[in-house]
Amino acid sequence: SLFRLKDLEVPKLGDCDVHVKMLAAPINPADINMIQGTYPLLSPLPAVGGSEGVGEVLEVGRRVAALKPGDWVIPASAGLGTWRTQGVFPEQMLLKVPSDIPVLCAATLSVNPCTAFRVLADFESLAPGDSVIQNAANSGVGQAVIQIARASSIRTINVVRDRPDLPKLVERLMALGADHVVTEEMLRKPEMKDIFKSIPRPRLALNCVGGKSTTEMLRHLQPKGTMVTYGGMAKQPVMVPVSAFIFRDLRLRGFWMTQWRKDHAHDQESVAAMMDTLCQLIRRGQLTAPACTEVPLQDYRAALEASMKPFVSSKQILLL
């Protein structure tokens, strides 16, 4: 195995550093891709895994102004290496988050809800009553999209793979605020027309799968609509009929949260506004953590294996 648990010295605290005790850190698909070497971010080895999580500040260097002991922090950018009990990090690598939100919400805040927030906000100007269609609707981003959209009165059509416990999954997504849940097979059925009797066709499609289901999803977009691809779980290309471009002028865009953070490194207002909105939603109970399985760090191997099984409806969270 590429992984082992190792004891390291905690480095000395520099003037601009923050000593953090990690509380909880999830295992995300991108973390697995990073380990497999199929992700554009590669940390110099040996490296600590994990790009997301929440920690508590224990101590700060002399020149650290924005953080104090007791504050909660999350990574400001990818590649922090969160699968550890303690760490010393430069202040600019951390973002303060309120400590009055549930620990699992804070631990899963910096990747999936931020991605969901940006893809809903940055590509089409959606108004209450508009609709969005997305695949892998039970993923971490998918669950966040359902809830953030619901809070703005935007309807969601949610595509999931058929599976043995489908009714249970449909019920769970409806409870989060999904308007419609359909399987990939249903995208091709005439019954899809019934959905559009009560809601408008979507102007925005969100894709993190690729392959056939993505092509099928495109059929239901309004003319001049946009599809944003932020993942490729099927490891298959996005195939688009030429007619979709010529006769419906559909737009195909891409999104990567890591890039957005780089582009907005000096635009703290945009970052703060997004975090504030998400934390408000969490406080109001309108945005919850995805279904989680909490695993002590010692059992990290089992957690990594579980996170790679098909049809996982629960995110593995390492408790540190």
DSSP 202: P
Tell me the helix, strand and coil percentages in the chain, rounded to 5: 35, 20, 45
Contact 34, 51 (CB under 8 A): yes
Residue appearing with tokens 């969005």: 132
Three-state DSSP class for residue 149: helix
Q: Cα separation of 138 and 168, whole Å?
A: 12
Residue among 153, 111, 81, 124 at smallest CA distance from 257: 111
Three-state DSSP class for residue 19: strand
DSSP 297: G
Count other Cβ atoms within 10 Å, centred on residue 126.
19
Annotated active-site residue in 14, 32, 33, 39: 39
Instruction: Identify whether 230 is a catalytic site residue.
Output: no
**Cα 308 to Cα 29, 144, 315, distances in angstroms:** 8, 21, 10
Residue appearing with tokens 């953080």: 67
Q: Cα separation of 272 and 119, whole Å?
A: 17
DSSP 58: E
Q: Cα separation of 293 and 190, whole Å?
A: 38
| End-to-end Cα separation, the chain, in angstroms | 21
What are the catalytic residues? Answer: 39
